[in-house]
Amino acid sequence: RVLDVLRKGLEDIAVKETSITYIDGKMGRLFYRGYSIFDLAELSSFEEVSFLLWKNKLPNIRELETFKKTMAEQREVPGQILEYLAKIDPSSNPMDVLRTTVSMMGTADRSDSDNFEKSIRLTSKIPTIITSFHRIRAGLSPVQPDSSLTHASNFLYMLTGQKPSEVEEKTMDVVLILHADHEMNASTFACLVIASTLSDIYSSVIGGISALKGPLHGAANSEALKMFLEIGSPDNVEEYVYKRLSRKERLMGFGHRIYKTYDPRALILRSYADKITSVKGNRNLYEIARKIEEIAVRSLGQKGIYPNVDFYSGLVFYSLGFSPEFFPTVFASSRVVGWTAQVMEYLNDNRLIRPKAIYVGDIEKSYVPIEDRS
């Protein structure tokens, strides 16, 4: 008999073999399909990385051009989704709205397209949904996608109505590249559980969005930014951090199940946060973040707790014009590539995911009629 083993949080349990993403949590290294995240962030684009994750190769010039065109052609969303966005309570949580609209897309998709085509559709349309709701909430009309722009540039164009500057476009592109996949995180695992029952890819993505919504996963970015805003000045950082840690409260954007050193994405984002806050004039928030990092690494570093991707990403999203409630949706807009890539890889060798629980209650109890119960 196999011994019952309880691994809370499924720590160190592998659910599949993968050739998509490799994380070296000890050394703080991350690779997509074998390519270092540092090279991809500097040299690549979100479209190229999406192709790489889905197709397991870097596209050549012709493949990339065709792929970019296909993605750009898919940006418009059905009118029924825009009508829904215009009607819904504007104070609704944007992740709930994203979940519902992806569900609407799934309901409407009766095509016999394969999962790759559906994944492109989802990835291309999600920014249109996010920015339309962002603008409607602010009392503005949605901006039609512009198919002559790159994915990152069009995303910002639909958000602000202005073509972004070079530094804004590059920053957005990098932030999307960095969020595209991260091996077996909670939301990806949720997608796989759903896919393993041979449900459809939209249902898997809805599961991913639902899992990403929580503050321990994709919403830590907005919590981190709120913390910077609440602190208000670098002079208040020391007192705030020590108070918070002495009350055993977690610092959002710190700590990771796999990384026991700096998350490389945090290092890359720190340099982009540095650049974008200089341009946008919210330097104060960057200085607050740097000071938190310095103090918290001093106190938590020996426990292996360092900044993760969410520590600087919120500041970057904010500087690009996104409101904090929307940060997890921007994360989702990129992670949808990883969710779908991991689902497609899993389905090549599917087995129903069905773990077990260790029963600790009684059995063989006598049923008590209701009138005899205390």
Whether 310 sits among the annotated catalytic residues: the reply is yes
106/215 with CB nearer ligand CMC: 215
202/254 with CB nearer ligand CMC: 254
Q: Does 158 bind ligand CMC (CB under 6 A)?
A: no
Which residue among 173, 181, 263, 310 is the active-site one? 310
Of 60-68, 234-242, 252-260, 338-346, the window that binds ligand CMC (rule: CB under 6 A) is 252-260
- Mark 201-240 with x for binding to ligand CMC (rule: CB under 6 A) and - for no binding: ---------------xxx-x--------------------
The nearest distance, CB 75 to ligand CMC, in angstroms, is: 26
Of 117-125, 149-157, 194-202, 249-257, the window that binds ligand CMC (rule: CB under 6 A) is 249-257
Q: Does 256 bind ligand CMC (CB under 6 A)?
A: yes
41/305 with CB nearer ligand CMC: 305
251/289 with CB nearer ligand CMC: 251
Q: Does 252 bind ligand CMC (CB under 6 A)?
A: yes
The nearest distance, CB 259 to ligand CMC, in angstroms, is: 8
As a whole number of angstroms, the distance between CA 144 and CA 351 comes to 42
Whether 256 sits among the annotated catalytic residues: the reply is yes
Which residue among 256, 263, 349, 362 is the active-site one? 256
Which position among 185, 277, 319, 340 is part of the footprint of ligand CMC (CB under 6 A)?
185
As a whole number of angstroms, the distance between CA 351 and CA 348 comes to 10
Active-site positions? 256, 310
Could you list the residues that contact ligand CMC (CB under 6 A)?
9, 185, 216-218, 220, 250-257, 300, 303, 305, 308-310
